[in-house]
Chains A and B, each alone.
Chain A
Amino acid sequence: MPSPMAIQSASPTPSMFRKKSTPALNTAASYLSAVSEADARARAHGSTPSSTPALSLSSSVTSSSEDTVLHELDDETDNGLAYPKVPPTSEQIFTTVHTEFGHCANDAYRHTSQYNTEHPVKSVQEQDPPYYILLTTYISYIVVIFFGHLRDFFGKRLKAAEYRHLLAHDGYAALNSDFDSFYTRRLKLRIDDCFSHPVTGVPGRTIMLLDRHSANYNKTQILSGTRTRGLNVSSYNYLGFAQSKGGCTDASVECIKRYGLSACGSRREGATLDLHVQGEALVARFLGTEDALISSMGFATNSTIIPALVSKGCLVISDELNHASIRFGVRLSGANVRMFKHNNMKALESLLREVISQGQPKTHRPWKKILVIVEGLYSMEGTLVKLPEILELKKKYKFYVFVDEAHSVGALGPHGRGICDYYGINPSQIDILMGTFTKSFGAAGGYIAGSKQIVDRLRLTGHSGAYAEAMAPPIVTQVIASMASLMGITLSNVEKSSSSRSLLPRHSDGPLQLVNTSECAAYPGTAASSALPPWMPLPQSMCDGSDSSMRLRRLAFNSRYLNRALRKLGFITYGHDDSPVIPLLLFNPGKMAVFSRLMRARATPIVVVVVAYPATPLVTSRVRFCLSASHTKEDIDTILQACDEIGDLLDLKQGAGERWPLHEIMARAVELVKMDVCP
């Protein structure tokens, strides 16, 4: 058996975990026969198929069938991912493909993501590992750095040709000098097989990896032509809208037929489509703000809008762990920047007192404005911003608040409206709500929402309006469809009689209809049917909100379950119990690669993201799980079992607190999730 530390060899060798778990139903035939048996049994008892509220009902789709499990016939792997462990009964109707969006009918595996004012759930105290872990972590870095330099020393002398591009040559300075690229070449390269892994297909509950190997120690990777399906806890697919089948996809297909692919140009130079206007109105209504604008890239939303908000003479106070796009935007703005310790309100307040009293540097003139930029959910830490406390400070210190909801919108709150919804805060208290569609909505692009005056100003002075390409029509459609289904759609009386919007009489040639502002008063509001493109087909379950409510509640359950279960197993994790992003601390850089490879090599492969310096502080290398509504409880159990075994192997269970054995955690999952405070 090859060592797991070794770089994956060309021919996939069976790993030490291969033998262990054999899925109960590993062939299509056995699965389908189980389905039909269940069907027969039900018919014998004379029960009529009905649906539980949590399941999506659509008359057009029959019960679990080849459609929902076998969509990819070349998916030859028997890794227990293609079929549910428990076949459905005849009452259970699933319309999703199990590999994209897991079948889970048990209504107990649901939870609501909401701030509990009586028992506020706090982000866990960041635990320090034992000293020997820290010490060995430092030593491992020292060792690789030492060997890196040693190899460079000899390499430059013995294999000069390979170093040519790293040194000045022919009168050109090196594009990336040997010094600048040291970390990449000598540290990252060693574990490069854990990064940038190419995939194909839907990044849903599972993901199809394109297998690759390297013959030259990761310098180049060669695709071997085979593929491996793995359980996907890496993609930002919080609500599971990454689907190739379903209402959103149908809507986007229809959109491509009608609109084509592009709006051809920038929004202010003749590329504003009715879809953009409808999309913006819907986003505003979804978030409960007066107005909103959308842009074709989330990163660029920050980097091109922040410079339009603040400029020289203004101050930006930024959380130290804010995303690169925010830093990019702030740097372009020319405003002064100060950082405060991550999510530390005391540090923020003392900084505010200092900067307001001191005024601008040197001149001591008062600041024109102060903008505090925070994220709703921090994607590397899993922490939630302490928004109520920030708003308390805002009253006294009169700064403006910009909340980047890239990861929190859709993923948090009982209605999926993000961090405000989670805390029960009126969104009008926040000056700027920013977010992206890349994550929860399974689309691309970003938005800025706020008062009409601010948003209109940003339409004119933000860089994207004049220069960046407008959002592509099918992308807007995905946003509209997924967002509208989260909101639920109020049908007009005529429409109520028919079962879905696709059957509506078409009024696509009529003038553009927009929601009028009086309708927007209610928050969290529903989407008026007239505010959506009339041609957009949406199944019943998406119109009545049952589909989305299932998604939201499954995500909330999954998040809490994995968060608390990992801690009960003894791992050190960061972040908030309700966060769908869960960092599990590994510390040792070497463990990152091994963890990732072991997870990928299991009988049921699990695809994880590992991150280290420079994305995190040097010592706190971690693996990051991103949960999704598409995962089932069994999937989480699979992850837990894998973590449990690998955790023992790699000596990762260093956390303090009460521990439960794995089987107890799995058995008491619901209890664990429903506890107000995890003991």
Chain B
Amino acid sequence: MSTTSTSLEPLFSILSQTYSTLETTFYKLPGSAVVARYVKSSHQNDPGRTLLEIILILFAIRTLLQSRTRADNSGKHFVQFDEKEIDDLIDDWTPEPLAAPLSAKEQAELTNSPVIVGATGPKPKLSNGKTVTNLASYNFTGLAGNERVKERTIECLVKYGLGSCGPPGFYGTQDVHMQLEQDIADFLGTEAAIIYAQAFATISSVIPAFCKRGDIIVADRGVNFAIQKGLQISRSTIRWYDHNDMKSLEQVLENIEKERRKKKGPLTRRFIVTEGIFDHDGVMSDLPKLVELKLKYKYRLILDESVSFGSVGRTGRGLTELYNVPASQVDMLVGSLANGLTACGGFCAGTNIVVNHQRINGTSFVFSAAMPPLLSVAASEGINILRNTPSILSTLQENTRAVRAIFDKVDCISVPSHPASPMIHLHVRLPSPTHLLPMVPASPALSSSGKPSNPHSPIPRDPEVFDGDLEERILQDVVDEALAQGVMITRAKRLPGQELVEVRPSVRIAITAALSKKDCEKAANVVKAAFIKVVGKRR
């Protein structure tokens, strides 16, 4: 007992010394005596008050810190100018134009893109008066123009009006929205679901709602633009694995785990973010393997099924149905109501906790008006139809197979997409030796060099080599040629300069169940002929 007190003696003396120096410096400050007296006397009268006052002061400081308008002129890089100099600098400054003028190519893209007159569908009419076969629009299930959907939405329109006129938190939640959320959850077999007003704005809000600074996200190198934006907003630590390569994913997960054990850092939230069918190339994820890995390494899985929901699986439930994986194994299942159900908007399905969290933290859910009621009704009815009509999806699959059979046999076309994907990307394969590596390496993960890619960078170790401009020109010619022959297709439109990795140009075909197999084959043959003709001319 006495030994401990003696050993602590020096510590006590240091403490009392610091205290007394602090006290003397405090009393040296002007006005400090008044403060001290005030605190003492108020403490004497009412000790509770001291606590209250301290808390109040803390609040006041916090409120002051909240105003973000303070000029940042204390930094070490600040240069002092006088007013005259500032005026001169202002006069000298010439800003760049807000938007650069369009190049001829860009102008052409805008003026030449087809405009549909009247309803879209499998055979729309264009502004030039021609009726074409439509392999461009997302109408997988053929619900566009469905009479039952129209009837139901008109009923809704004359009862609810059109707009919801408010965000969901402020009287924008209509009973039909709740119904749709329930329908989605039931359809997929999750506890709950939440709907967003636009598909593209869904996942870029879902990701930052859960992933914060310091959290770890492991993402596929080939994720779509909306996910890229979500990752950017989240400010989490991001590690990349090779596109759709489960070995690479496992390696990245393993390395992170090792690193964590070494550092003994706190447990952070960890997520795997990937797509069901990739928007960029139509490749399909191996869901069972993903689930296995996420359970093994204790990650949460955010799966974007924007393309696969309503397009694969026996009744269109997406990848979970195709692979027979319970949807509850996917922590956040994000999908689009626009692609598969030809309505508008997106959703995120998951547990009640996941969904309710987004009702407060999903930025584009909270700060945007709720979806117009009639679009929810359209989506609900779409689900209803899919559920009761499995023939829709079987027709779609048959059409997809028929079209794939045609494209797979053409020399100048390479198809990266999964055979079951009704969204088919077509790359041009040029035979000339000046364009090396026309083929996509089957698995770029452990390619020639044998070393894995750097997980800190979205760029793979051996990026695909292609001549983007040339391929784009060729593909545009193909699109124009096909249109001239009565088939509307489209190049996959990208945002050059804004994507994390430049994507190889492709023609994106969207198969629909609304066309007969014969029509699909006919259209595919037109596209094939267009490819052969355009590539042939270049020889």
Quick one: which of B63, B107, B127, B171 contacts A235, CB cutoff 8 A?
B171
Chain B residues closer than 8 Å to A663, beta-carbon distance: none
Stretch at the interface among B16-24, B94-102, B401-409: B94-102
Q: Is B484 an interface residue (CB 8 A)?
A: no
Within 8 A of B (CB), among A462-520: 463-469, 472-475, 478, 511-512
A458 to B168, CA, bound (A): 29
Chain B residues closer than 8 Å to A188, beta-carbon distance: 360
B173 and A274 within 8 A (CB): no
Q: Is A660 an interface residue (CB 8 A)?
A: no
A299 and B364 within 8 A (CB): yes
B114 and A270 within 8 A (CB): yes
A414 to B106, CA, bound (A): 39
Within 8 A of A (CB), among B134-166: 134, 136-139, 144-146, 149-150, 153-154, 157-166
Q: Is B5 an interface residue (CB 8 A)?
A: no
Q: Is B67 an interface residue (CB 8 A)?
A: yes
CB distance from A405 to the nearest CB of B (A): 15
Quick one: which of A270, A366, A432 contacts B93, CB cutoff 8 A?
A366
A202 and B160 within 8 A (CB): yes
B369 and A201 within 8 A (CB): no
B233 and A198 within 8 A (CB): no
Chain A residues closer than 8 Å to B493, beta-carbon distance: 266, 268-269, 465-467
CB distance from A235 to the nearest CB of B (A): 4
Chain A residues closer than 8 Å to B55, beta-carbon distance: 138, 142
CB distance from A351 to the nearest CB of B (A): 7
A 178-218 to B, binary, CB cutoff 8 A, 1 in contact else 0: 00000010001000000111111111100101100000000
Q: Which residue of A lies closest to B71 (CB)?
A: A354
A172 and B157 within 8 A (CB): no
Chain A residues closer than 8 Å to B488, beta-carbon distance: 270
Indicate whether A461 sits within 8 Å of B371 (C-beta atoms), given known contacts A201-B160, A260-B144, A320-B69.
no
B 476-491 to A, binary, CB cutoff 8 A, 1 in contact else 0: 0000000000001110
Indicate whether A368 sits within 8 Å of B200 (C-beta atoms), given known contacts A264-B138, A466-B494, A609-B171.
no
Indicate whether A210 sits within 8 Å of B157 (C-beta atoms), given known contacts A459-B110, A460-B102.
no
A171 and B114 within 8 A (CB): no
A458 to B100, CA, bound (A): 10
A339 to B63, CA, bound (A): 16
Indicate whether A277 sits within 8 Å of B115 (C-beta atoms), given known contacts A172-B298, A264-B139, A353-B90.
yes
Chain A residues closer than 8 Å to B157, beta-carbon distance: 244, 249, 252-253, 256, 474
Chain A residues closer than 8 Å to B200, beta-carbon distance: 300, 304, 463-464, 467-469
Chain B residues closer than 8 Å to A521, beta-carbon distance: none
B 177-208 to A, binary, CB cutoff 8 A, 1 in contact else 0: 01000000000000000000111110010000
Q: Is A364 an interface residue (CB 8 A)?
A: yes
Chain A residues closer than 8 Å to B149, beta-carbon distance: 260-261
Q: Which residue of B lies closest to A219 (CB)?
A: B356
A362 to B338, CA, bound (A): 45
A364 and B77 within 8 A (CB): yes
CB distance from B94 to the nearest CB of A (A): 7
B372 and A265 within 8 A (CB): no
Quick one: which of A307, A396, A456, A511 contacts B110, CB cutoff 8 A?
A456
Chain B residues closer than 8 Å to A468, beta-carbon distance: 198-201
Indicate whether A171 sits within 8 Å of B269 (C-beta atoms), given known contacts A245-B158, A264-B144.
no
Q: Which residue of A lies closest to B109 (CB)?
A: A460
Within 8 A of A (CB), among B107-128: 107, 109-110, 113-121, 127
B163 and A442 within 8 A (CB): yes
B 76-108 to A, binary, CB cutoff 8 A, 1 in contact else 0: 011101000110011001111111111000110
- Number of residues from A at the complex interface, CB < 8 A: 143
With most chain A CB atoms within 10 A of its CB, the pick from B215, B369, B494 is B369
Chain A residues closer than 8 Å to B368, beta-carbon distance: 297-300, 325, 438
Q: Is A397 an interface residue (CB 8 A)?
A: yes
Indicate whether A170 sits within 8 Å of B225 (C-beta atoms), given known contacts A175-B210, A339-B68, A441-B163.
no
A351 and B59 within 8 A (CB): no
A444 and B371 within 8 A (CB): yes
Quick one: which of A339, A460, A475, A618 contacts B106, CB cutoff 8 A?
A460
- Number of residues from B at the complex interface, CB < 8 A: 131
Chain A residues closer than 8 Å to B324, beta-carbon distance: none
B67 and A320 within 8 A (CB): yes
Chain A residues closer than 8 Å to B144, beta-carbon distance: 260-262, 264
A274 and B98 within 8 A (CB): no
Quick one: which of A270, A352, A469 contacts B199, CB cutoff 8 A?
A469
CB distance from A220 to the nearest CB of B (A): 9
With most chain A CB atoms within 10 A of its CB, the pick from B78, B162, B168, B343 is B162
Q: Is A156 an interface residue (CB 8 A)?
A: no
A6 to B475, CA, bound (A): 67
Chain B residues closer than 8 Å to A425, beta-carbon distance: none
A139 to B204, CA, bound (A): 38
Chain B residues closer than 8 Å to A232, beta-carbon distance: 171
A463 and B225 within 8 A (CB): yes
CB distance from B370 to the nearest CB of A (A): 9
B95 and A256 within 8 A (CB): no
Q: Is A241 an interface residue (CB 8 A)?
A: yes
Within 8 A of B (CB), among A584-641: 607, 609, 617-619
A323 to B215, CA, bound (A): 26
Chain B residues closer than 8 Å to A619, beta-carbon distance: 63
Q: Which residue of A lies closest to B332 (CB)?
A: A175
A452 to B233, CA, bound (A): 30
Q: Which residue of B lies closest to A245 (CB)?
A: B158
Q: Is A257 an interface residue (CB 8 A)?
A: yes
A175 to B369, CA, bound (A): 26
Chain A residues closer than 8 Å to B86, beta-carbon distance: 353, 356-357
Indicate whether A244 sits within 8 Å of B71 (C-beta atoms), given known contacts A196-B168, A453-B101, A464-B200.
no
A203 and B164 within 8 A (CB): yes
Indicate whether A242 sits within 8 Å of B71 (C-beta atoms), given known contacts A173-B267, A173-B269, A264-B120.
no
Q: Is B213 an interface residue (CB 8 A)?
A: no
21 sample A-B contacts, Cβ–Cβ < 8 Å, listed by A number: A202-B161, A203-B172, A260-B119, A263-B116, A264-B338, A264-B342, A269-B136, A274-B127, A296-B197, A297-B364, A324-B367, A361-B75, A364-B77, A364-B79, A439-B369, A444-B371, A454-B99, A459-B110, A472-B343, A511-B129, A609-B170
Supplied contacts A172-B298, A466-B493, 15 more A-B pairs, CB within 8 Å? A175-B300, A176-B361, A199-B174, A200-B176, A203-B164, A236-B369, A266-B493, A270-B113, A271-B138, A366-B93, A369-B97, A443-B162, A463-B498, A467-B226, A474-B157
**Top 7 closest pairs, chain A to chain B, by CB:** A270-B136, A264-B137, A457-B99, A299-B368, A468-B200, A297-B198, A469-B338
- Chain A interface residues (CB < 8 Å from chain B): 100, 138-139, 141-142, 165, 168, 170-176, 184, 188, 195-204, 207, 209-210, 232, 234-237, 241-245, 248-249, 252-253, 256-266, 268-274, 277, 296-300, 303-304, 307-309, 320, 323-325, 328, 331-332, 338-341, 347, 350-354, 356-358, 361-362, 364, 366-371, 396-400, 431-432, 436-439, 441-444, 453-454, 456-461, 463-469, 472-475, 478, 511-512, 607, 609, 617-619
